[in-house]
Every structure is written in structure tokens, then in C-alpha cells.
Amino acid sequence: MKRRNFIRSGALAIAGFTILPRHILGGTNFVAPSDQINLGIIGCGAQGRWTLAPEFARRANLIAAADCESRQLKAMQEIVEKETEKAKGQAYKGFKLYADYHELLNRSDIDGVIIATPDHWHAVQTIEACRAGKDVYVEKPMSHSIEEGRAMADAVEKYNRVLQVGNMQRSWRNFRHACELVRNGYIGEIKEVKVSIGPPPVKYDLPAQPVPKTLDWEMWIGPAPMNVYNEELAPPMERNMFPNWRNYKEYGGGMICDWGAHMFDIAQWALGMDDSGPIEFTPPEEGELRPLSMRYANGTVMTHEPFRKADGNAVRFIGSDGVIDISRSFLDTIPAKLQDEVIGEDKIKLYKSDDHYNDFLTSMKTRKQPLSTVEIGHRTASLCHIVNLCYEFDRKLVWNPEKEEFFFDDEANKRRGNPIREPYSLKV
């Protein structure tokens, strides 16, 4: 074997075992790579700066960031340096900034990436990260279309990567407890599930505004359809807000995807449907008060409706023997004693995590599946995408979760994916 091929083969073999046990690498004082996870973050907007970067800077080595807005990049640097110094007790000045995320992905010293870009970027960047040998923490909703989600799952499998979706409610005690109550039959047979979240997205129609000099608008658009700039999509930092690109179907999935990625996800978890989904989606009929409904193969019906309008986003499980309402601010049960029920070890116990970020880092070390896998994220996002299509088409959609296709509906099947602008692609 030629030396070049030998080195390449060896590197590929090592890539499958990037985290090595301490005893293999050195003595008791040796700091193993598993204790030095290096991360990069792609996307320095509100979610990246305010939520993800501080959390990961405290738990790992966050060493680089990429963004198409230069001021956001500098703001990210300040946050990471501050949080790293607080966590480790010493000043940190090695944080690198990139206007093009490909440069970040090309770094051999980065083990994993956090993808905190708008939804329309998730698939392309996840696939490229997997191809570059990086593990991935990707914000929810995982994908911007059904086809994108499947391509992401294929990339994770092909390149043997770990991927955690940012459905962090699965790492919250009350949500896990509610799901275990449902799974173990504490409220009897589930008759209906109500999910209270906001509306679907609308077509982008905002007027053009001057593109800020600090923003690379072509890079922001990336694989999505080109449109005029408006600050609702990428607001100046002075507005101190979460951007509204998620309200427009070209770039997000409305509140159906934004909050459905959380609340439909909890419903799927409780019903044991993480590898499947509803088979029938029926829109509201004109002039009637009935909500959009979804039916699972076992007969369970789930609806999209504001059942507790004053309380915002939540899930209600209606069983033959009781009711459970769960949100980020309450866990209400009938009977009331279920709130504090101790679920025995002989019962169904769901994956327990109290720290969604550490769960990802632990999976990077052990190579075991994290709490919210790519398949789970794909199934939850697919449900959201189909709900949006059902509203848009205003007709019943019949879905085959195994084949991931609609029955006898060419129009709906064509919409399982979105157009991808060149030179970007979903090629795995």
C-alpha cells in the first residue's frame, strides 16, 4: 500500500473512534480528548448568542463561530469569552470568527458543531457537517421539509455521526413525567390529544429595505428562494428581538413548526410514536368550529387547537380515566395526585436527561444515541410539515409513515421537498 493511501486509510479508521479512552492515551494526569470536546457554532443570531453559546461555553470548548452578519459575530465572541472565563476561571482569547461556515467545518480540531441558523439552512449545513466528520447539535425544528429531514438522517447514518435535536423539553422533568404517566396507563386509554400552538406560516411578501452593510444577504438566503431584504427576517441587533423569518414559509414553518417541534414532539413521545406519526390529517371544515385533526393508526385522535387560550403552548392528554395538561409553566392532572406519582421501576421508564446540552456531549464521548435523535427530530418535523400542507391545501391528506409518502396525491408528494438553490444540495 502506498504511503498516501495508508495514511488516508488510517485517518478514516481513526475517524470512527475519535474519542479514545483515557487509559489508552496516557497516564492518570493525561487529559483525554473526551475531556476536551471542541465545538464550533454556526449562526450567531438571538438563539445562538442568548441560549446555545452560553450553555455550551460552560460545558465544552467553544472555539469558533460562523455567521454572515459581522456584528453578530463580534457579539458572539464577547459572550463566549465572558462565559468561558466565568466557567474556567481564566481569560480566553482564542475564539475564531468566520464569515463563511465552510472554513469552520474545514478545521480538523473541531469535533462537533452547533447549528443555530434559520430553518432553511439546517439540512444543508447538517449534511456538510456530517461529511466533514463533525457531530451535530441542530436547533428545532430539525428540517424545513420532509425530504430534508430524511436526507439529514441518511447523512448521520452514512458518516456515523451523533446528532442531537434541540427539543430540550425532553430533558425537563415535568414533560418526562407526563409522558411516563401516559405510557403507563395512569389515565387509562388515550382517547384524544390536544396541542395548543400558533398558526402556520404565510408567503413572504414584505417590502424591500436596504441591506445592512454588515450583512451578507446572499449567504443569509443560501439554499432558499432569493427575496428582497426586510429587517423582520434579519433584524439589526438594536432591536434586541428574535427574528420573524420563522413566520414565512420560504424560511420557516410558522408556529406550527416553531412550537410544534416542542409540543407535537411531547405528544409523539408520550404516545410511543417516535418512529411513526399520524396517518390521516383533516382540516377544519368551513363554517364549523372543529379544529384540524390527525388520526393515528391505532385510532387515537390529535387536534391542533387553543384549548387553554390564556396559557399559550401546551398539550392535553385525555384518557378514559383522567386528563393531563402539560406546558412549560404547569403540569395539571386529573386525578391531582398524579402530579407527584412515583413511577415504579417495574413500569415503562423513558430516557432520562436533566441537561439536554450535556446529553449531547456525553453521546459524543460514548457514541451512544442521545435523547432527541435525528430520527425523532425527523418524525416530529414531518408531522409539523404535513399539518402546514393540510392547512394550505385545505383537504384531507392520507400519509404512510413507513414509506413517507401520501396516498394517491401527486401534488402533496411533490411538496415533500423544497427547491434548493445552486450550488447547494441535499446530496449525502
What is the pLDDT at residue 289?
A: 61
The pLDDT of residue 35 is 61
Which spans in 160-200 are helix H? 173-183
- Domain-located, residue 149: no
Q: Among 90-94, 334-338, 362-366, 393-397, which stretch is predicted with the lowest mean pLDDT? A: 90-94
Pair (296, 316) in one structural domain: yes
53 located within any domain: no
Task: Give 344's contacts (C-beta < 8 A, 6+ positions apart).
Answer: none
Same domain, 213 and 193: no
Residue 370 belongs to some domain of the structure: yes
Is the pLDDT confidence value at 177 over 80? yes
pLDDT value of position 31: 39
Cα angle, residue 268 at apex, residues 267 and 273 outer, rounded to 5°:
150
- Is residue 381 within 8 Å of residue 193, measured between CB atoms? no
Read off the DSSP letter of residue 49. Answer: I
DSSP codes joined into one string, 360-412 = HHHHHHH----SS-HHHHHHHHHHHHHHHHHHHHTS-EEEETTTTEETT-HHH
Residue 283 has pLDDT above 90, yes or no: yes
Report yes or no on 368 lying in a domain: yes
Residue 138 lies in a domain: no
Residues 224 and 277 placed together within one structural domain of the fold: no
User: 365 pLDDT exceeds 90?
Assistant: yes
Assess contact for 327 and 317: CB atoms under 8 A. Answer: no
Indicate if 233 and 291 belong to the same structural domain.
no
65-79 tens-digit pLDDT? 999 999 999 999 999
Tens digits of per-residue pLDDT, 369-398? Answer: 999 999 999 999 999 999 999 999 999 999
User: Which has more pLDDT, 32 or 373?
Assistant: 373
On whether both 300 and 219 belong to a single domain, the answer is no
Instruction: Look at residue 255 and give its three-state secondary structure.
Output: helix
Counting the structural domains of the chain, the total is 2
CATH number of the CATH domain containing 291: 3.30.360.10
Q: Do residue 294 and residue 229 come from a single domain? A: no
Read off the pTM: 0.91
Q: Is position 364 within any domain? A: yes
Angle at 51 between CA 317 and CA 63, to 5 degrees: 135
Res. 30: pLDDT tops 80: no
- Domain annotation covers residue 63: no
Q: Does the pLDDT of residue 112 top 60, yes or no? A: yes
Nine-digit cell string for 304:
391542533
pLDDT given for residue 90 in this prediction: 82
Residue matched to cell numbers 434548493: 420
DSSP 220: H
Same domain, 374 and 292: yes
Mean pLDDT of 219-236: 97
Q: Is residue 347 located within the same domain as residue 220? A: no
Establish if 353 belongs to a structural domain: yes
Identify each DSSP E strand in 131-279 by its residue range: 135-138, 163-165, 190-196
Structural domain of 228? 207-241
* Residues 393 and 306 both lie in one domain: yes
Q: Is the pLDDT of residue 196 over 70?
A: yes
Residues 230 and 278 in one domain: no
Are both 222 and 291 inside the same structural domain? no
CA–CA gap between residue 109 and residue 369 (Å, rounded): 23
pLDDT tens digits along 258-280: 999 999 999 999 999 999 999 99
Q: Are residues 297 and 378 in the same domain?
A: yes
